[in-house]
Amino acid sequence: MHALESSPRSRTGDFSLRPDAPTSSREDDPRWQLAERIAASSSLGRSRLMVDFLLYVVDRHIHNRSDEITEQQIGVLVFGRPEGYDTNEDNIVRSYARNLRKRIEEYFVKEGKREELLLQIPRGGYTPVFSPGHRKQISDVAQLEVPRDLQFIENVETVDIPDLADSMITEQEPTTQELTVEESEATGTNETLGFARLVRKYAAVLLLIAGFLLGSLFTVFFPPIWLKRLTASPAEIASKDLWAQLFSSKRDTFVVPSDDGLVIMQRLTERPVPLASYLDGSYRTKIQTVGDSDAAEIMKLGSRRYTSVVDLDLASHLGQLSEVNPQRMIVRYARDLRMDDLRDGNAILIGSIEANPWTELFQAHMNFRFSIHADNEKPSGIVNVHPRPGEEPIYGAPGVQNHTYGLIAYLPNLNATGHVLIVEGLNTAGTQAAETFLLTPSLLEPTLRRARLPSGGFQPFEVLIGAGNVASNAAAPQMVLERIGSF
């Protein structure tokens, strides 16, 4: 078995090879050249890890080292996981593989449609497969995909209707010597009836053709999403515009549910986990539980993949929106998210700072901020950094069990090239209240109307939501406070 080696970090990155492997063979190999073109294409976007994944498996395949193309080694060499990590608990390789397959298919449909070589990563493994003749396949598929109706139209257009009518009349027309005056009149009547039947017959065909063309034009200029928009209320239109900002065909949108195992661990240890510790994993190795015989079990909570049904319900609703491009919407566990994802992509972060540490990156740009204190010596709640007259400095007083609060914040991403939506609550009921408010156009519309920009987009905004808490379920959410514009 070969020693583990690092994967490339750019398209020009070097791979470690066997001593007897020629270093020039890879660069001259058309399979490697194809992989580099895919890696540089817009289909893969700016996902460095996805590029590393592709180049790693192609490099190992080219150098006959397919024994190194395993989930374990990809996780270690591409994604920086420790050797011997549990692939059953951590599915980052499988998650990226699914998205990589979609992006490769997208490449060959768009930028690579004229490629002479086809690259696939079949399901059930990670070893790439190359096959020739992709241009022919595309041509065949294109031919198969021509609607039968269009082929029928082409045949109809070649028919010369007047000539056909004349030939039919000529076949029925007797000679003038054989006609009496009465016969002549009768023949004229028959000719007229025959021509009328012919016109009616082909008129129906022409009407069908015209109907098909009109329907096609209507579909082009008024696709289903626009048909829904024409019948939508102003509140529904405002919500659709918000989702259109968050789900773009130009960049990925990451839907990130909460890490509830992290919440349980923090409650048991009474120690908060900042984002820095969450990223380097030190929170799982520095737990101080003096005299606690269950320390090992508590540490395992930090590596488990628990999330809330409320979060999954929101993710499910988002996936059904007409504005969503399925190839651009990616559900990613909080522990698998990377900083680059929040720099250039759009994101929807679900859960408070205690359950989703990534929200820490945006707290400084928010007026309403979560303050969580496990020791109960200080009140936990949503802090109103700059309270206005009549407003409270903190919402969520301890001991109040029948009322809760949630928060919705719409902010720029880290590079201000996209958008981040934060949906969080003091507890499960609070997060549910925020989600219900977000998915109810009539509740959200007043805020969207005030945040609307002349360009059609929206300013950053925050909405503090209050709701009844009945057995951990939100009841009757309503807006308590809002902020429009940058903090």
pLDDT in tens, 243-267: 999 999 889 999 999 998 888 888 8
Within a domain: residue 3?
A: no
- Tokens 């349980």 locate to 264
Give the separation between CA 84 and CA 91, rounded to whole angstroms: 14
Within a domain: residue 433?
A: yes
- Judged against a pLDDT cut of 70, whether residue 375 lies above it is answered with no
Within a domain: residue 85?
A: yes
pLDDT, the chain, mean: 79
89/158 same-domain check:
no
404/346 same-domain check:
yes
Among residues 91, 121, 144, the one where a domain terminates is 144
Within a domain: residue 5?
A: no
389/411 same-domain check:
yes
Strand locations in 133-182 (E): none
Q: Which of 418, 410, 422, 405 is nearest to 448 (CA)?
A: 410
Within a domain: residue 367?
A: yes
Q: Which of 330, 364, 334, 335 is nearest to 349 (CA)?
A: 334
Residue 458 gets which letter from DSSP?
B
216/348 same-domain check:
no
pLDDT in tens, 412-464: 999 999 999 999 999 889 999 999 999 999 999 999 999 999 998 999 999 99
Among residues 118, 144, 170, the one where a domain terminates is 144
Q: What is the mean pLDDT of residues 372-399?
A: 80
241/390 same-domain check:
yes
Q: What are the DSSP calls for 4-63, one per residue?
A: P-PPPSSTT------TTS-TTHHHH-HHHHHHHHHHHSGGGTT-HHHHHHHHHHHHHHHT
For residue 373, give its domain range.
237-259+307-484
252/376 same-domain check:
yes
Backbone angles phi, psi at 31, to 5 degrees: -65, -40
262: which 2 tokens?
A: 């992290």
- Judged against a pLDDT cut of 70, whether residue 80 lies above it is answered with yes
The residue that leads in pLDDT, 342 or 287, is 342
423/342 same-domain check:
yes
Residue-level pLDDT at 16 = 43
Residue-level pLDDT at 31 = 92
Residue-level pLDDT at 70 = 94
330/468 same-domain check:
yes
Backbone angles phi, psi at 81, to 5 degrees: -75, 150
Within a domain: residue 154?
A: yes
- Judged against a pLDDT cut of 80, whether residue 400 lies above it is answered with no
Q: Radius of gyration of the chain from Cα atoms?
A: 32
Of 223-227, 432-436, 470-474, least confident by mean pLDDT is 223-227
Q: What is the mean pLDDT of residues 9-20?
A: 42
38/187 same-domain check:
no
Give the separation between CA 264 and CA 303, rounded to whole angstroms: 12
347/404 same-domain check:
yes
Q: What is the mean pLDDT of residues 269-294?
A: 74
The set of residues, in sequence order, having a beta carbon less than 8 Å from that of 445 and lying 6+ positions away, is 234, 235, 238, 239
Q: Report the share of the chain in percent with pLDDT over 90.
A: 46
37/67 same-domain check:
yes
Most confident of the following: 14-18, 77-81, 225-229, 284-288: 77-81
Q: Residue 373 — pLDDT band, cuts 50, 70, 90?
A: low
pLDDT in tens, 89-100: 888 999 999 999
The residue that leads in pLDDT, 144 or 243, is 243
Among residues 109, 144, 179, the one where a domain terminates is 144
Number of independent structural domains in the chain = 3
Helix (H) or strand (E) holding 218: helix 181-221
Whether residue 51 contacts residue 44, with contact meaning beta carbons closer than 8 Å, is answered with yes
The residue that leads in pLDDT, 218 or 485, is 485
Q: What is the mean pLDDT of residues 182-207?
A: 54
CA dihedral (218, 222, 223, 229) positive or negative: negative
Strand locations in 61-167 (E): 117-120, 129-132
Within a domain: residue 286?
A: no
pLDDT in tens, 23-51: 456 788 999 999 999 999 988 877 889 99
Q: Residue 380 — pLDDT band, cuts 50, 70, 90?
A: confident
The residue that leads in pLDDT, 364 or 7, is 364
Give the separation between CA 400 and CA 383, rounded to whole angstroms: 16
| 304: amino acid identity, one letter | R
Cα-to-chain-centroid distance, residue 9: 25
312/455 same-domain check:
yes
Within a domain: residue 287?
A: no
Alpha helices in 320-364 (DSSP H): 339-344
pTM of this prediction?
Answer: 0.62
Give the separation between CA 425 and CA 263, rounded to whole angstroms: 13
The residue that leads in pLDDT, 194 or 161, is 194
